[in-house]
Amino acid sequence: MQMRFHAGLLDTAGASALLGCSPAALVRFRIERRGPPYVKVGRLIRYRRLDLIRWVKSRRVSPEQAPRPDEARHDSNT
């Protein structure tokens, strides 16, 4: 019996399923350097489950911090 150690690593499809976003969104996040941390294993991209959970927690917005609907963002060029 062969044992495989995965250390909680997820591929892009697994990570996107956990986060509830598309795999393309994770690819875009990597390109824009704004997504969750990832691990490169050779040419493969893998995500640690714990990193994904921490990344989600770091994006939590409490109701006091959320912008009000009447406070629309204004572009400084307009």
76 Cβ neighbours under 8 A, 6+ residues apart: none
Q: Give me 71's structure tokens.
A: 């406070």
Place 31 in a pLDDT band, splitting at 50, 70 and 90: very high
Of 58, 17, 14, 20, nearest to 36 (Cα)? 58
Q: What is the pLDDT of residues 36-55, one digit of tens each?
A: 999 998 999 999 999 999 99
State the pLDDT at residue 3. Answer: 44
pTM of the predicted model, to two decimals? Answer: 0.72
C-alpha 17/C-alpha 2 separation (Å) is 27
User: How much is the average pLDDT of 48-67?
Assistant: 90
More confident residue, 66 or 48: 48
